């Protein structure tokens, strides 16, 4: 590997250049990184969907007593967490498959 700053030759395992001391670039595409980013994007998109479409449609006439309101809010939050985790996991699996294919081809 050649240092992009001073053009000295470095080992692949080096984290910084021995001559100029600057950080060496690391490989940016790994299957895990692609999977994590894809999962995060899917979870963010699900959050946006829940906030803009799903939750406003579920609001009807609110219950009268306090315990029903609390139980309704808890149930809605638990369902949102399940949907967010499901979206993240689906995105992570898709990103992992894509990452393995992309990193193997490169």
More confident residue, 81 or 1: 81
Domains of the chain, residue spans: 31-105
The answer to pTM > 0.75 is no
Orientation of helix 31-49 relative to helix 66-105, angle to 10°: 150
More confident residue, 60 or 67: 67
Query: How do residues 47-58 score in pLDDT, each as one tens digit?
Result: 999 888 877 776
Mean per-residue pLDDT, 46-70: 78
Residue pair 43/92 in contact by the 8 Å Cβ criterion: no
Q: DSSP class of residue 18?
A: T
Q: Compute φ and ψ for 23, nearest 5 degrees.
A: -70, 140
Q: Is the pLDDT of residue 75 over 80?
A: yes
Distance CA 82, CA 48 (A): 15
Distance CA 94, CA 89 (A): 9
Task: Assign 43 to helix, strand or coil.
Answer: helix
């Amino acid at each position: 590997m050649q240092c992009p700053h001073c053009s000295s030759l470095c080992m692949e395992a080096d984290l910084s250049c021995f001559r100029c001391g600057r950080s060496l670039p690391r490989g940016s595409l790994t299957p895990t990184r692609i999977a994590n980013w894809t999962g995060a994007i899917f979870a963010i998109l699900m959050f946006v969907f829940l906030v803009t479409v799903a939750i406003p449609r579920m609001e009807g006439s609110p219950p009268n007593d306090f315990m029903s309101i609390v139980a309704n809010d808890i149930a809605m939050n638990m369902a949102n967490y399940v949907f967010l985790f499901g979206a993240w996991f689906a995105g992570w699996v898709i990103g992992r498959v894509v990452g393995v294919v992309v990193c193997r081809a490169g």
